[in-house]
Structure formats: C-alpha cells, structure tokens
C-alpha cells in the first residue's frame, strides 16, 4: 500500500493482536444522535409525574391543574414554559381551561352538604351540590350523568364545565369521586384515560407499533428529533414520525403513499392485464373477443391496443387520434420500473441476511475475533446501504414523476434527476461489490483471508461515504429546495436506527454512550 495513501484504517497487517479503533472502518462524522428512552408500564407513571412536578413548580398550581394545562399543550413542558413567558399565567390558564379557585371557594372543591337550593340543570331542589373551581355549582346527580356520558364517549381527558359558555375544565378529583360512587369500573376507565393521555396526546412519546403489542413506549427529548428512526427493546424498528418501518431517505408522506400503492398493486395489476379504461367515461372494459375494436356502453368506440378513442375509423393498420405519448401509461411504466427495482433490492437484502448464519458457521474455523468483527460489520453496512438504495427508488418516483415533480422547473428537474441517478448508480455498483466480497470468503480458500478482509473494510468505507453523500444531496438539493417548502427526513446513520434505553435505568453519561454505540 502506498505510504501516502494510508486511508482511514492504518495498521500492521501481520499483527492480529493489534485492535482497530471502534468501528474504525466506518467512521461517520460526529453528529448529534437522538436521545431515545423506552417507557414501560411501570415507569410510565414516573415519567408522567416528572412532567407534572415541573409544571406544578413552574405555575405554582396543584396536580390536577397542572395536568389540565399539560393535556391542552399535548404534554409539552417547553410549550407551557414558552406560553407563560410570552402571554403570562392568566392568559395561559384561560387558553388551557384552568380555573384557579379563590380562597373562599377552596374548601368547596369536593361534594359537600349545603342548604337546599335548586340545581341550574334539573331545577329540582337538591341538598348535595358541588361547585367547580370556576364557581359554577350543580347537583351531584346532574354532574355524575354528565361525566358518565363524556367518559363513555371517550371525551374524558378534557371535560368542560356544564355551565353555558364556560371553558373551564372540571377537576379530575371531583370527577373521580362522583363517578366512583356510582360505577367503580367507569371511574377506573376515566383514570386509565388520564394515565394514557401522556402517550396518546404527547408528540414526544409513541407506543411501539409491534404486533402483538410489546407494551413499551418510546420517548424522545428534543423536538428536532421528531423525524428519526428508532429501535425498541423488543427489536421492532420504526420511524418515530409515522410509525411505519424505517424508510429514509423517503419522507413519511412518500412512504405512506408507497405503502398504499403496494396494497393496491395486486388489484391494479389484474385490471391492467385484463381491462382497459374507456377514454371517454373511464369505466373498465374487459375484452371477451378477438377484435381489438371495443364498444363501450357509453357509446364510444376505442382501440383495445392503445385505449384511445378511434371514432368511426377502424382498420388493421391505423388508429385515428392515437398519440404515441400517453402520460398515464408513461407514469405507470415508471412506477413499475421503480417498484421492480425496489423489490429487487429488498429480495437481495433477504438473501444477504442469511449470510449471518453462514458467517458464524465458517468463522468457527478461524482464529481471532477480529476477523469475525470485520465481516459482521461489513454485513451490517451492506444491509444499511441495500435498504437505503431500495428506498431511493421510491423517492425517485414521487420526486421526479409523481407528486413532487411540479415543485421544480423542467430544467431543475432534469439536472437534479441526472445528478441523483448518477449517485444512485455509483451506490448500486459499490453495494453489489460489497455483496460479492462478503460472499467470496465462503467460495475460495481461507488460507489467506486478510486480503479479502481489507477489501471489505475499504468497500464498507466507500459505501458508507456514498450513502452519506447521496443523503446530503437528497436532503439539501431535492427536499430542501421545493417551492412549497423543505421536507424533513430521518437522519442517515450508518449504525442503523437509534436503540432506546430504559427510562431511569442508566445515568445521563451511560445513556449518551449507549446511543452513540447503537
């Protein structure tokens, strides 16, 4: 090797005891990794209580009032703090429906026995009345019926006062006590709704979408990380933004449209193979004879071969009004090409994953863990790059031929498409080369495996660099320059999705190390 070309991995080839730096053959630039925590059913209450305590201290309010504010602002403590600084406490309370009782009413926040008065709802004389923090007072029977209806209708997280035009949210402790006297199970349901609002109303926390459910939730700490790819402790990997499988460099919208199109593909394929749409009424017509001249019930005649209206002219050599360029057909062909390329790489990925078992069996005959580590790291890089490459065909379809094509001028689309396809082809070549190298040790003599190991190391570096370069182009030059505004995608990580750490199980330093290592 040339002394002036040492690359990013320089060691004595004859010293197997010398250890390389951690993942030395894949050295990504230092970037901030998302901090992801896993919340179990047991730690959920602790996580919720932590945010409640912060807001109670911030606003100097009780727990139920803090919960009302947090539910309104979707459990975003930073948002509560920002609104407090910008608008003040009184405006914050008004927006969130928080009513702070005056001191003379503080003792009336629970059901009490008062002089007989008439309820403003049923107008019957009642002795047991309850006053909310907003000052409105109704009989316990009417309150209980009102709470019961709201809980059964799934509106228990923010039950407003019954008074006309009152936006104050009812005290959860009063709801719990009144409903519990009549129906303990319903009171427990109300409690569960409040408890689970921390996840279902919180944009920073998502349930793991594994099937069957693992019962874990994942939490991010920074709003900038809302679009990232994570891995639950159960092993499920998913996009935190849309809860679908990891799909970078595609946006969540692209992937949702792609998932829908895949589900519809089988039906569409049958319709495309067996029917043609009438160019006038657009109904699907199935051919049941040998002649290619079709007659639609709407009265239109068209050619089966071209699905173009023919009028009265019908010969074996000409079709009137036929245009070679058919936008719909062209778009379908491009979709078919992108879908075939996507599926081809995904099938290759499945086959390459079987290499793991083969590597483990073969490496049992080799000495030293370094060989095993190199090959497994090469296999990991191959899976990351192969998945990235397959997803790039999905992005290409929507970016250049479908939904986002009009976000660029014709000249911009042409030039950027050319650059994109060049980068895509370079990456494809390197991925296939790395795949060949990882298969090679099992087909040739293992007397001198070092040369193959070095090739795998440098091919992994080159492949990772191309993935990162292509990602930057997509993020900045494609998605970042759209007329309607930039679109966000999950960061590229050669390590794969960020693994979640158990809430409260490690220190801050340990958790940072875990996220860096994953």
pLDDT at 514: 42
Is residue 424 within 8 A of residue 337, CB to CB? The reply is no
Confidence label for 485 from pLDDT (cuts 50, 70 and 90): confident
All residues at 6 or more sequence positions from 321 whose CB lies less than 8 Å from its CB, including other chains: 308, 309, 310, 311
pLDDT at 323: 42
Block residue for tokens 């050295």: 27
Block residue for tokens 């049941």: 288
Block residue for tokens 């970042």: 480
Percentage above 90 pLDDT, the chain: 44
Cα 81-82-83 angle, rounded to 5 deg: 95
Structure tokens at 485: 């505004």
Beta strand pairing call for 498-499 and 229-231: parallel
For 17-29, what is the mean pLDDT? 42
pLDDT tens-digit series, residues 401-440: 878 888 888 899 999 999 999 999 999 999 999 998 887 7
Q: Is residue 374 packed enough to be buried (19+ CB in 10 Å), middle (13-18) or exposed (0-12)?
A: buried
> Does position 269 have pLDDT exceeding 70, yes or no?
no
pLDDT at 190: 93
| pTM given for the model | 0.73
| Pairwise pLDDT comparison (50 vs 263), residue with the higher score | 50
Structure tokens at 139: 């009989």
For 133, the enclosing helix (H) or strand (E) is none
> Residue 300, Cβ neighbours under 10 Å: how many?
17
Nearest to 514 by CA among 33, 40, 42: 33
Backbone angles phi, psi at 37, to 5 degrees: -115, 145
Distance CA 201, CA 213 (A): 19
Distance CA 166, CA 70 (A): 19
Confidence label for 217 from pLDDT (cuts 50, 70 and 90): very high
Distance CA 70, CA 50 (A): 12
For 349-376, what is the mean pLDDT? 71
Percentage above 70 pLDDT, the chain: 74
Confidence label for 334 from pLDDT (cuts 50, 70 and 90): confident
Residues catalogued as catalytic? 291
For 449-486, give the DSSP string: THHHHHHHHHHHHHHHHHHHHHHHHIIIIIGGG-TT--
pLDDT at 396: 94
> Does position 109 have pLDDT exceeding 80, yes or no?
no
pLDDT tens-digit series, residues 75-99: 999 999 999 999 999 999 999 999 8
Backbone angles phi, psi at 257, to 5 degrees: -65, -40
Is residue 51 within 8 A of residue 137, CB to CB? The reply is no
pLDDT at 65: 93
Is residue 417 within 8 A of residue 477, CB to CB? The reply is no
pLDDT tens-digit series, residues 112-168: 445 567 888 888 776 788 999 898 999 999 999 999 999 999 888 899 999 988 999
Confidence label for 445 from pLDDT (cuts 50, 70 and 90): very low
Q: Which long-range contacts (CB under 8 A, 24 or more apart) does 6-14 make?
A: 7/458, 7/461, 8/461, 9/457, 9/458, 9/461, 13/450, 13/454
Is residue 372 within 8 A of residue 446, CB to CB? The reply is no
Confidence label for 224 from pLDDT (cuts 50, 70 and 90): confident
> Does position 27 have pLDDT exceeding 70, yes or no?
no
Distance CA 518, CA 512 (A): 10
Picking from 85-99, 368-382, 429-443, 473-487, which range would have the lowest pLDDT averaged per residue? Answer: 368-382
């Amino acid at each position: 090797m040339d002394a002036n070309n040492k690359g990013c991995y320089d060691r004595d080839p004859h010293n197997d005891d010398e250890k390389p730096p951690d993942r030395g053959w894949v050295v990504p630039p230092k970037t901030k990794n998302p901090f992801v925590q896993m919340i179990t059913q047991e730690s959920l209450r602790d996580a919720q209580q932590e945010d409640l305590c912060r807001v109670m201290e911030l606003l100097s309010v009780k727990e139920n009032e803090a919960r009302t504010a947090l539910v309104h602002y979707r459990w975003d403590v930073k948002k509560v703090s920002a609104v407090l600084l910008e608008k003040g406490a009184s405006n914050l309370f008004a927006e969130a429906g928080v009513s702070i009782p005056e001191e003379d009413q503080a003792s009336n926040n629970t059901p009490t026995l008062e002089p007989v008065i008439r309820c403003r709802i049923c107008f019957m004389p009642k002795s047991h009345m309850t006053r909310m923090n907003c000052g409105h007072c109704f009989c316990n029977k009417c309150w209980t019926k009102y709470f019961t209806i709201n809980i059964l209708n799934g509106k228990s997280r923010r039950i407003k006062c019954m008074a006309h035009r009152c936006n104050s949210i009812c005290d959860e402790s009063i709801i719990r006590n009144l409903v519990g006297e009549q129906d303990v199970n319903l009171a427990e349901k109300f409690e569960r709704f409040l408890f689970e609002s921390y996840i279902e109303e919180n944009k920073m926390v998502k349930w793991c979408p594994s099937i069957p459910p693992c019962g874990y939730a994942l939490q991010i700490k920074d709003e900038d990380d809302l679009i990232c790819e994570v891995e639950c402790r159960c092993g499920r990997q998913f996009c935190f933004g849309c809860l679908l499988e990891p799909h970078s460099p595609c946006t969540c919208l692209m992937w949702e449209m792609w998932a829908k199109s895949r589900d519809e593909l089988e039906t569409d394929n049958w319709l495309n193979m067996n029917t043609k749409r009438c160019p006038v009424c657009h109904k699907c017509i199935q051919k049941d004879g040998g002649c290619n001249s079709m007659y639609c019930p709407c009265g239109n005649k068209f050619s089966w071969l071209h699905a173009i209206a023919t009028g009265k002219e019908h010969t074996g050599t000409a079709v009137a009004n036929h245009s070679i360029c058919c936008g719909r057909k062209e778009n379908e062909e491009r979709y078919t090409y992108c879908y075939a390329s996507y599926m081809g790489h995904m099938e290759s990925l499945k086959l390459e994953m079987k290499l793991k078992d083969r590597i483990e069996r073969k490496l049992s005959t080799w000495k030293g863990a370094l060989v095993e580590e190199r090959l497994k790291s090469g296999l990991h890089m191959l899976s990351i790059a192969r998945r990235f490459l397959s997803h790039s065909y999905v992005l290409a379809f929507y970016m250049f031929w479908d939904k986002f094509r009009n976000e660029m001028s014709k000249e911009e689309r042409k030039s950027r498409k050319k650059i994109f396809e060049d980068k895509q082809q370079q990456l494809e070549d390197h991925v296939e080369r790395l795949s060949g190298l990882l298969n090679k040790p099992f087909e040739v003599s293992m007397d001198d495996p070092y040369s193959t190991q070095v090739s795998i190391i440098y091919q992994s570096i080159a492949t990772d660099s191309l993935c990162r370069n292509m990602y930057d182009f997509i993020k900045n030059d494609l998605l970042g320059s759209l007329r309607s505004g930039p679109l966000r995608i999950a960061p590229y990580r050669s390590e794969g999705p960020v693994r979640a750490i158990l809430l409260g199980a490690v220190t801050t330093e340990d958790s940072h190390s875990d996220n860096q290592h994953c």
